[in-house]
Amino acid sequence: MRTFKTYDKGDVLPEDYKKALINLMCFQADSEYAGGQRVAENHRYATRPEEAYRLSKKVFEEMGHAFYVWNLLQELGVDVDARLHELSHNPENPDPRKVNVINGFRKENWSKFFECWEDVALFSTVVTPAAVAFLGQYRECSYLPWARVNVRIHKEEYGHLAFGVWASKRCIEFGGEKTREFMQQRIPKFMQMGLGFYGRPSAGGERSQMFDIYYEYGIKVKKPEELQTEYLELLDSRLKEIGLVMPAGVEADYDMRMGYEAEEPVGA
């Protein structure tokens, strides 16, 4: 079990620690909000009433996750209302000098992934387990206010995964074997995004220098390899529940990820 110094609300944070912490928290909050905007755009694919209402609930939840984290960032001296303004007024192309959004949640990248309701269902089934694993680690991080907020977020992310399983089952229930095969073929494109979610391996030539800093500070508490194991176990169990199969040989797409491992954090 790793040990590291923890900090609570009001504690004085070492400057380098604070900088790294703010960078990751901004990345999470900005990306959650942008994620809510993208989910809202997918509403047009909803073919049934319950699907539409469940998706609108998800939009509000993603926004709520951003509000939780921004609220904490405000206490750390970040001008979060400026970030909210930028994202809400430039939903299709927010300025990367002002906010830090995961690449996969930028409109130009996101929209390529979605053509039908089955894609919406599969996103929550195949990519969300990566978010569950990745964000789940923050529940045990060294900044306790953020850890506590992520307990709440993690619970709702699990709910989003349950939504994906429910929606996928409904697709197959109404569309039969033809739809099951159609969905099976669409798993790899989402799995590439899911595998890239938690970053490059912690060892080797392409490893991230920023990861070492986050890990040392206990801001990130799990290595990408551990998160990958968690992700694949979760994904496999959910796909089996639906009657789908986890494809072999899918490679991670790290380009759909980020911004936030950049050597210089964006201005907070």
Partner 1 sequence: MPGSPQQLIDGEITELKRFGYTPFGDAAPDWAGMWDLLRGDFATLQRTHVPAYAEMSPWPQEGARIYMRRRLLADRLFEECQELYRRLHGEGINTELVEAYSLARDAYEEAVLDFGKAREMLEGVFTRSVDVVSASRA
Give residues in contact with partner 1 (CB under 8 A): 36-37, 40-41, 43-44, 46, 48-50, 52-54, 56-57, 59-61, 63-64, 67-68, 70-71, 74, 80-81, 84, 88-92, 152, 159
Three-state SS for 183-239 is: HHHHHHHHHHHHHHCCCCCCCCCCCCHHHHHHHHHCCCCCCHHHHHHHHHHHHHHHH
Q: How distant is the alpha carbon of residue 17 from its chain centre?
A: 23
Rounded least distance, CB 177 to partner 1, Å = 13
User: For tokens 């307990």, what's the residue?
Assistant: 151
Which tokens sit at 1?
């079990």
Rounded least distance, CB 93 to partner 1, Å = 9
84 or 235, CB closer to partner 1?
84
Rounded least distance, CB 3 to partner 1, Å = 31
Which tokens sit at 254?
């790290």
DSSP 174: H
52 or 232, CB closer to partner 1?
52
54 or 257, CB closer to partner 1?
54
90 or 237, CB closer to partner 1?
90
Which tokens sit at 59?
């939009």
Rounded least distance, CB 53 to partner 1, Å = 5
Q: How many CB atoms lie within 10 A of CB 172?
A: 20
Phi, psi dihedral angles at 143 (to 5 degrees) = -100, 105
5 or 44, CB closer to partner 1?
44
Rounded least distance, CB 117 to partner 1, Å = 12
